[in-house]
Amino acid sequence: MTTFETLKLERLEGGIALLTVNRPDKLNALNAQVLSDLHEAALSLKDDASLRALVLTGEGRAFVAGADIAAMSDMSEEASYEFSSLGHRAMSELSNLPVPVIAAVNGFALGGGLELALTADLIYVSEKARLGLPEVGLGIIPGFGGTQRLGRRIGWQRAKELLFTGRTISADDALAYGLALDVLPLEGFLDAIIEIARTIASRGPLAIRAAKQAMVQGRDLPIDQANQKEVEAFSGLWNTHDRAEGMAAFLEKRTPTYEGR
């Protein structure tokens, strides 16, 4: 398995991968090395047919507390452009993975940390989580997709309020705003998220990938064109082993054995 300087990539049973940002002494702050490692990790996963789901979290008491301000403070304009571009490449590769990505936000998810969480299909937060985009307090703006992904997730008016004020919100606020799916106790938090991933991984893997692809491709299209993406994804599964196996198992009242083909 590929190893990374600032990440832990672990393979769990059932086709689940656990990707942990591992700079706990810096509250997992995103510097160029972390962003490069995230990009490479996503590239290493995207063509893995055995992958069923990815869980994304942070080591220690933070998910990711933000970008590494110490590393950013002396950047030139050209360097800032490259840094932002690197962040976007990493976030895009994670967002575009063909399998569900689940963010397990255990603690602080500020600035680049919230932007990282926003690459996930599903966001769960612990009761200790704190989230926000505080960049305007530093005289800058989010640089890894926050100005675009947050509004698409929770609506533009609420996203503008959070970005313009730089306000940090609680786990309960994140739930109320539609940013998080659920708030879970910190004790046993990661285990609970992995169990959700196991449920996803137990379903037809080709169907899960097709469902994600149809939703991603259709989300910005007029409804008729978006529905056509669904028709194509639906019928595209018909001649697969997994479709036949899933329906046969249902009729025979047994658990299906999916092979991803």
Report pLDDT for 1: 60
In order of 18, 93, 95, 134, 202, the CA distances from 47 in angstroms are 16, 12, 14, 35, 19
Chain mean position to CA 72? 24
Q: Give the predicted TM-score (pTM) of the model.
A: 0.95
* Secondary element (H or E) of residue 68: none
Please name the helix (run of DSSP H) or strand (run of DSSP E) that holds residue 190, with its range, or none.
Answer: helix 189-201
Cα separation, 197 vs 107, whole angstroms: 20
CA contacts within 13 A on the Cβ side of 76 = 2
78 among known catalytic residues: no
Domain 7-201 in CATH 3.90.226.10? The answer is yes
pLDDT at 139: 96
Per-10-residue mean pLDDT, the chain, length 261: 89 96 96 97 95 97 92 92 97 98 98 98 98 97 97 97 98 98 97 98 97 95 96 97 97 96 93
How many CA atoms does the CB half-sphere of 249 hold within 13 Å? Answer: 13
Answer yes or no: same fold for 7-201 and 205-252. Answer: no
For the question of residue 115 being annotated catalytic, the response is yes
Q: Which of 135, 161, 230, 245 is catalytic?
A: 135
Please give the structure tokens belonging to residue 169: 């919100």
The CATH class that applies to domain 205-252 reads mainly alpha
According to the model, what pLDDT value does residue 205 have?
A: 97
Domain residues of the chain, as ranges? 7-201, 205-252
Per-residue confidence (pLDDT) for residue 36, from 0 to 100: 97
Q: Is 67 exposed, middle or buried (0-12, 13-18, 19+ CB in 10 A)?
A: buried
- Of the residues 10, 40, 115, 161, only one is catalytic, namely 115
* pLDDT at position 244: 97
Sign of CA dihedral 29, 171, 168, 114: positive
- Residues β-bridged to residue 53: 16
